[in-house]
Structure 1
Amino acid sequence: MGTGRLFGVGLGPGDPELMTVKAARLVQSADVVAYHSARHGRSIARAVAEPYLRAGQIEEALVYPVTTETTAHRDGYRGALDEFYAECAARLAAHLDAGRDVVVLCEGDPFFYGSYMHIHKRLSPRYTTEVVPGVTSVSGASAVLGRPLVERDEVLTVLPGTLPPDELARRLEGEGPAAILKLGRTFGAVREALAAAGRLDEAWYVERATTDRERVAPLSDVDPATVPYFSLAMLPSRVAAVPPPTVAPARSGRGELSVVGLGPAGREWTTPEAQAVLAEADDLVGYGPYLDRVPPNPRQTRHPSGNTEEGARAAYALDLAAAGSRVAVVSSGDPGVFAMASAVLEVAAQPRYAEVPVRVVPGLTAAQAVASRAGAPLGHDYCVLSLSDRLKSWDVIADRLTAAARTDLVIAIYNPASRTRTWQVEKARDLLLEHRAPDTPVVVGRDVGGPAEDVRVVRLADLDPSGVDMRCMLIVGSSTTRRGSGGAVFTPRRYP
């Protein structure tokens, strides 16, 4: 293998903005940029890529020796092209052997009737090669027409205009959508074939799609003398010709309510099911900072509220659903773990909401997120507790902590502290030390998945309350929890 890399880069149908990000990056960074051109020296491929070229790049113009299938070459047109591509490959190989990366530009897609493939066949066995796909001329023309290309179970036929007219007509028989490329001097034969197949009236002509020289017209109206090579005939989907069904009116009557878990942080922590439910909702209800994590959509109405207004929030959401709206109540983490699901279901148990369907869409919990960052501290039996005494007394919390410590459960502790609750962590640590060894690992996870993520592992005896706040959660190990040689915390599945 040579030391340079070869890239066949698709440029799309003509608009430089339809180049992919990857194509633009490779063109800009290449040592050598190669492109085909006619003998006049102008290159459509280079013109498309020009906004991304930089000063100092080596350019290799691959100038076709012929423009029609007539030539004085001893082996005819095909022989002339084979010799041309062999010479081009040798020129590019010299750069690759010298360690220079070479980008070969190709309009449309390199492997869709693309000239690059002739270079690829000759050089890819010898050099590291990558092909970057591009938007095809067929896709560009379909977009310009504003007509779907294929729908449902239709089959798209793509044909070169260089086929004999009778062969074209045979392949165009029926009702399926089709695209015919390589028009130019073949246009008359293509039109003849469309007429013979009885499909001329449904054919469209698209020239230089997506460029500033774009032209679209019924194919039957086009003068053959005006047709360039970069044009194509389109027979779009017949399904598209059928008037679309009438859009259903907005919902009325009974709506629905979903309580959705967002996970502990950004979109990547939210399940596809939760994202789908959020996308379908008419109204979003929740604690303001949690609503802020859902991408804005002007079609939806947001109803933020404070963090301590769970009952009122649930009733408000249920009233919206009862009026016919699709409502999503959002929760951080999982809505069933110290979150909105229980509050909503409690209010929904009232007779007046009996006809409102309520479902719970689960989310990744904070305990799972923190545990994953530390290793596998929840690998055996564990329990989940909240240190918040807003909805239960400290005596209940202390009894449950003591019971969990006595039974040697790993303990995941939510809501360990807040601005107004600053003493519970110290009390909890002291209670646990009555039943756990001072060396017991404690995972302190803060803002896991967020920009301020911090995960530490400390000894239970060294747990400092001043470093714990409402954005933290704690995982206190059992007697079998330990740290591996790489620092990961885990609780073995076997219990002595």
Structure 2
Amino acid sequence: MTGVGRLYGVGVGPGDPELVTVKAARLIGSADVVVFHSARHGRSVARRIAEPYLRGDQVEEQLVYPVTTEDSDDYQGEMDGFYEECARRLAAHLDAGRTVVVLAAGDPFFYGSYMHLHKRLAHRYPTEVVPGVTSVSAGAAVVGTPLVERDEVLTVLPGTLPPDTLVEHLSHGDPVAIMKLGRTVDHVRDALARAGRLDEAWYVERATTGGQRTARLSEVDSSSVPYFSLALLPSRPNHRRDSVGEVVVVGLGPAGPEWLTPQARRALAEADDLVGYVTYLNRVTANPRQRKHASDNKVESERAAFALDLAKQGRRVAVVSSGDPGVFAMAGAVLEVAAEAQFADVPVRVLPGLTAAHAVASRAGAPLGHDYAVISLSDRLKPWDVIASRLDAAAGADLVLAIYNPASRSRAWQVEAARDLLLRHRSADTPVVIGRDVGGPEESVRVVRLADLDPSTVDMRCLLLIGSSQTVVTAKGVVFTPRRYPG
């Protein structure tokens, strides 16, 4: 180390001078040089907080930010040059043997400007960082609500993140602090709404100062939001476990998180335990306090009983299903087992999800624009003659058909049998939409004639939409069924 001076990064807290630590006050008062940042208007929040502790005869170094992100095409490059010049100014004092205190609002290492000087000087001079009360802690205090409790996880996010990234982080359901609102408040509010959490968010402005303001974020005028403000989503009282838990059957939609409703996202975040078929459970990101319980796809009743048993122990349990849980999925299985006397006191809720049929239909156009029937070709839980009679009746009624579970490795013949049965009622030219992995990385949507439906191209990841006599395929390949029926 080449200098004999000493560098201090000193946190002065969120705004109230009485929240400056004893150590910070002592160092500020004894420093030879006091350094603070400001915008071009010259006002410094950190210096205002520290003013009661200044001697009046100290050297003051004001570091004026040259640009903001709004008025520079090379913001990072200009700021790097600015900090290099600031480091040279401070190094001159340190080389002269002076004690240099750099003031930092809040904590020096918590989104603070001091860290850029630290990176450039700490390896050359004796350096110490003095922590300060953060704006997050101050915000929780002025709102008067616990920030985190028990095994909850606090997430701190800059409001400058892209909206989709904010939504992803917010979906976990634990407490959150969002910093740097200012000009980002509208897209932060939009992200909270998309995550189903806007009603939880508190707005805190200039916490612990004379200009302090708190309100529900949903009620704040975005034009009045300064940079020194934040959004808090504190600990949820309903995370406290009741003597009896509950089971929530959650529809995940047909694919990734963009198909998940805010209501479902919240239920997943609040759960203690996540239960489901392993493939669907892998689509849910668990937070650190949650436990996952995966199982095979042929044990629906056992899975339901397991979830209900957990709820009897006071756990909040989310049972997941792809698509909508009430359509050939877990809602029926859970409710059937829940009807047993031993589970009479366990609450069960069902949250809907976007169905695979509607997802496929949206990709093709509007093939479900008129009356339609939903039928599963799986004969694992019902005999084929029942399936065939229902296909025959629906085809005879000229209903559009949504065909679930058309084929699997152990069931390779039902698609051909269904096609031949339907051709007794439908024209060979009837359009068939084959949607595979819709919303997923291997998505494909094809439209073929009913007579050309090749069973070898259909597997368990497919869903078939078979048109009625009125279903149309346009010259652009769009499929729709008119809302009016002739006669």
- Residue of structure 1 equivalent to 2:247: 257
1:403 aligned to which of 393, 402, 424 = 393
Would the alpha carbon gap of residues 434 and 316 (structure 1) be closer, same or farther in structure 2, given more than 3 Å must change?
same
- 1:254 shift after superposition: 1.2
1:474 aligned to which of 431, 446, 464 = 464
C-alpha contact (below 8 Å) 1:260/1:328 kept by paired residues: yes
- 1:376 shift after superposition: 0.4
Cα distance in structure 2, aligned partners of 1:383 and 1:303: 34
Opposite residue 310 of structure 1, the aligned amino acid is E
- Residue of structure 2 equivalent to 1:44: 65
Report the more deviating stretch, 381-390 or 40-49: 40-49
- 1:486 shift after superposition: 2.3
- Residue of structure 2 equivalent to 1:148: 139
Is the counterpart of residue 322 in structure 1 residue 322 in structure 2? no
- Residue of structure 2 equivalent to 1:337: 327
Would the alpha carbon gap of residues 340 and 249 (structure 1) be closer, same or farther in structure 2, given more than 3 Å must change?
closer
Secondary structure in 2 matching 1:234:
coil
- Residue of structure 2 equivalent to 1:234: 209
Cα distance in structure 2, aligned partners of 1:276 and 1:232: 29
Would the alpha carbon gap of residues 47 and 444 (structure 1) be closer, same or farther in structure 2, given more than 3 Å must change?
closer
1:92-491 equivalences under 5 Å are 143-144=134-135, 146-148=137-139, 234-235=209-210, 250-491=240-481
C-alpha contact (below 8 Å) 2:142/2:207 kept by paired residues: no
- 1:148 shift after superposition: 1.6
Opposite residue 209 of structure 2, the aligned amino acid is M
Structure number with greater Rg is 1
Would the alpha carbon gap of residues 286 and 41 (structure 1) be closer, same or farther in structure 2, given more than 3 Å must change?
closer
- 1:253 shift after superposition: 2.2
Opposite residue 316 of structure 2, the aligned amino acid is R
Cα distance in structure 2, aligned partners of 1:249 and 1:441: 50
Give the superposed CA RMSD: 3.7
Would the alpha carbon gap of residues 252 and 36 (structure 1) be closer, same or farther in structure 2, given more than 3 Å must change?
closer
Cα distance in structure 2, aligned partners of 1:308 and 1:491: 35
Opposite residue 339 of structure 2, the aligned amino acid is A
- 1:303 shift after superposition: 0.6
Report the more deviating stretch, 46-55 or 410-419: 46-55
C-alpha contact (below 8 Å) 1:150/1:237 kept by paired residues: no
- 1:45 shift after superposition: 2.9
Secondary structure in 1 matching 2:463:
strand
- 1:152 shift after superposition: 6.1
- 1:52 shift after superposition: 2.3
Would the alpha carbon gap of residues 248 and 288 (structure 1) be closer, same or farther in structure 2, given more than 3 Å must change?
closer
User: When the two structures are aligned, how many residues end up with a matched partner?
Assistant: 300
Cα distance in structure 2, aligned partners of 1:343 and 1:36: 65
Opposite residue 44 of structure 1, the aligned amino acid is Y
- 1:339 shift after superposition: 0.2
Would the alpha carbon gap of residues 43 and 252 (structure 1) be closer, same or farther in structure 2, given more than 3 Å must change?
closer
Would the alpha carbon gap of residues 142 and 348 (structure 1) be closer, same or farther in structure 2, given more than 3 Å must change?
same
Would the alpha carbon gap of residues 462 and 332 (structure 1) be closer, same or farther in structure 2, given more than 3 Å must change?
same
Would the alpha carbon gap of residues 461 and 261 (structure 1) be closer, same or farther in structure 2, given more than 3 Å must change?
same
Would the alpha carbon gap of residues 381 and 247 (structure 1) be closer, same or farther in structure 2, given more than 3 Å must change?
closer
Cα distance in structure 2, aligned partners of 1:145 and 1:363: 35
Would the alpha carbon gap of residues 404 and 307 (structure 1) be closer, same or farther in structure 2, given more than 3 Å must change?
same
- 1:476 shift after superposition: 0.2
Cα distance in structure 2, aligned partners of 1:280 and 1:245: 11
1:24-39 equivalences under 5 Å are none
Cα distance in structure 1, aligned partners of 2:236 and 2:370: 56
Runs of 5+ consecutive residues of structure 1 not aligned to the other structure: 1-34, 60-107, 109-140, 154-230
Cα distance in structure 1, aligned partners of 2:380 and 2:475: 40
Opposite residue 65 of structure 2, the aligned amino acid is I
C-alpha contact (below 8 Å) 1:142/1:148 kept by paired residues: no
Cα distance in structure 2, aligned partners of 1:249 and 1:258: 15
- Residue of structure 1 equivalent to 2:77: 53
Secondary structure in 2 matching 1:455:
strand
Secondary structure in 2 matching 1:475:
strand
Would the alpha carbon gap of residues 361 and 43 (structure 1) be closer, same or farther in structure 2, given more than 3 Å must change?
same
Report the more deviating stretch, 249-258 or 382-391: 249-258
- 1:143 shift after superposition: 4.0
Would the alpha carbon gap of residues 455 and 246 (structure 1) be closer, same or farther in structure 2, given more than 3 Å must change?
closer
Q: Deviations over 1:263-284 (max 9, x none)?
A: 0011110111111111111111
Cα distance in structure 2, aligned partners of 1:236 and 1:326: 41
Would the alpha carbon gap of residues 36 and 148 (structure 1) be closer, same or farther in structure 2, given more than 3 Å must change?
closer
Would the alpha carbon gap of residues 417 and 44 (structure 1) be closer, same or farther in structure 2, given more than 3 Å must change?
same
Secondary structure in 2 matching 1:148:
helix
Would the alpha carbon gap of residues 383 and 320 (structure 1) be closer, same or farther in structure 2, given more than 3 Å must change?
same
C-alpha contact (below 8 Å) 2:40/2:64 kept by paired residues: yes
Secondary structure in 1 matching 2:484:
coil
Matched-pair identity in %: 62
Cα distance in structure 2, aligned partners of 1:267 and 1:258: 18
Secondary structure in 1 matching 2:298:
coil
- When normalised by structure 1's length, the TM-score is 0.55
